[in-house]
Amino acid sequence: MDEIAVIGVGMHPWGKWGRNFVEYGVHAARAALGDAGVDWRDVDFVSGAVTVRCGYPGYVAGSTFARALGFTGAQVASSYAACASGATALSVARGQILSGAADVALVVGADTTPKGFLAPNAGERPDDIDWLRFRLVGATNPVYFGLHARRRMELYGAGPDDFALVKVKNSRHSVHNPNARFTKEFGLDDVRASPVVSDPLRLLDICATSDGGAALVVSSLEWARAHGHPDPVRVAGISTVTPTFPDTVIDLPYLATDSAAATDPPARTFKESIADRVYAEAGLGPDDVDVAEVYDLSTAMELDWYEQLGFCAPGDAEKLLRDGVTSIGGRLPVNPSGGLGAFGEAVPAQAIAQVCELTWQLEGRAGQRQVEGARVGISANQGLFGHGSSVLLRR
């Protein structure tokens, strides 16, 4: 797969600001354009990641952000894939650039979240699985996080302190991130003392919901080199795969797995297949990765990603963590940004935010959270209803 360049990145700090989501996206977009040294009028294509909570403008995010920045006649698209929306929007922009339809694209996502758990929009929708899991069994997102944690405990003997140590590590990273919402460093006893939310996970094991925005300016390699970016960070692979039948591991928002009684399960689980695709596109493998940003909706899920991305064998994630391998200063730092535990979920923005962090890392611009010598970075994410999300970047 041909590569494209990331020539500018920008974010609006995460928090609970209570303002229109467009404000966050415009802030991030202007920051990315300034970082790239690109005039807004030179952008050929706007790829917006959709929010479903902010009314009609959220559903046409590409046009909404283009209008807020000032219509220029640029082409637009809007992508919704739940938490994978940002990666999908980047994939659409890549297609436009590689096809020759655009030279420069802005990819932007932002969200304003309600207080409390993320839940389906109001209305009676008995054919909507996401609506049904709330109505039938009251299964909020942390219920699924707890199920995954229990699965890890049963399969590999993990315990609550293993999960808590992920929070301890990531909070130590977040102290140095001005865009993070939570920048307090927590110790093991702090996590142990926090209230149980979905056994065995406690409050500090689970990410919050947040407002925030993130944006990228991407271009063809030829355009980048001709406009002051001789050695840009490159998008070497994007994965937006779906599961393969039968999907035998429960996941949001489904109430049951597929049966494998009449057919063998696939050789790779859904989340393993996300990484397979992005490595294949990039022509690289897990041994090439220097830094990773993964989707830590819960601390236990971060441990799962170590294995699903091929960083270690199944059951060895806890050792990787305890040995300091995934801390800044270790061989393969994971979530040097602080992860979602430090940011919270601003759904359309978070996959884009992961690419922002990896870009800063590969350019050596991450300040006190810098991973020394980072040349290859990978993100891992997942959207509701089987949306895979992974981006592999390299210098």
What is the domain range of residue 327? Answer: 129-206+236-394
What percentage of the chain has pLDDT greater than the value 90? 95
Q: State pLDDT tens for residues 144-165.
A: 999 999 999 999 999 999 999 9
Domain count, the chain: 2
In a domain, 124, yes or no: no
Residue type at 73?
G
Query: Which stretches of the chain are DSSP H helices?
Result: 21-36, 56-59, 61-69, 85-99, 129-137, 141-156, 160-174, 188-193, 221-226, 270-282, 299-308, 317-322, 339-343, 347-362
pLDDT recorded at residue 120: 85
Q: Which of 125-139, 195-209, 311-325 has the lowest mean pLDDT?
A: 125-139
Question: Is the predicted pLDDT of residue 1 greater than 80, yes or no?
Answer: no
Average pLDDT over residues 47-74: 96
Q: Are strands 376-383 and 387-394 parallel, antiparallel or unpaired?
A: antiparallel
Q: What is the CATH number of the domain that holds 73?
A: 3.40.47.10
pLDDT recorded at residue 55: 87
Three-state DSSP class for residue 66: helix
What percentage of the chain has pLDDT greater than the value 70? 100
Q: Examine the domain organization and report whether 245 and 273 are in the same domain.
A: yes
Q: Examine the domain organization and report whether 22 and 89 are in the same domain.
A: yes
Question: Is the predicted pLDDT of residue 326 greater than 90, yes or no?
Answer: yes
Q: Examine the domain organization and report whether 361 and 217 are in the same domain.
A: no
In a domain, 385, yes or no: yes
Question: Is the predicted pLDDT of residue 41 greater than 90, yes or no?
Answer: yes
Residue 226 CB contacts under 8 Å (≥ 6 apart), including other chains: none
Q: Which of 46-55, 112-121, 195-204, 385-394 has the lowest mean pLDDT?
A: 112-121
Q: State pLDDT tens for residues 347-378.
A: 999 999 999 999 999 999 999 999 999 999 99
Q: Examine the domain organization and report whether 181 and 301 are in the same domain.
A: yes
Q: Examine the domain organization and report whether 325 and 272 are in the same domain.
A: yes
| Core vs surface per residue 274-309: b (16+ CB within 10 A) or e | bbbbbbebbebebeebbbbbbbbbbbbbbbbbbbbb
pLDDT recorded at residue 117: 85
What span, in angstroms and rounded, lies between the C-alpha atoms of 276 and 233? 21
Average pLDDT over residues 158-187: 98
pLDDT recorded at residue 122: 81
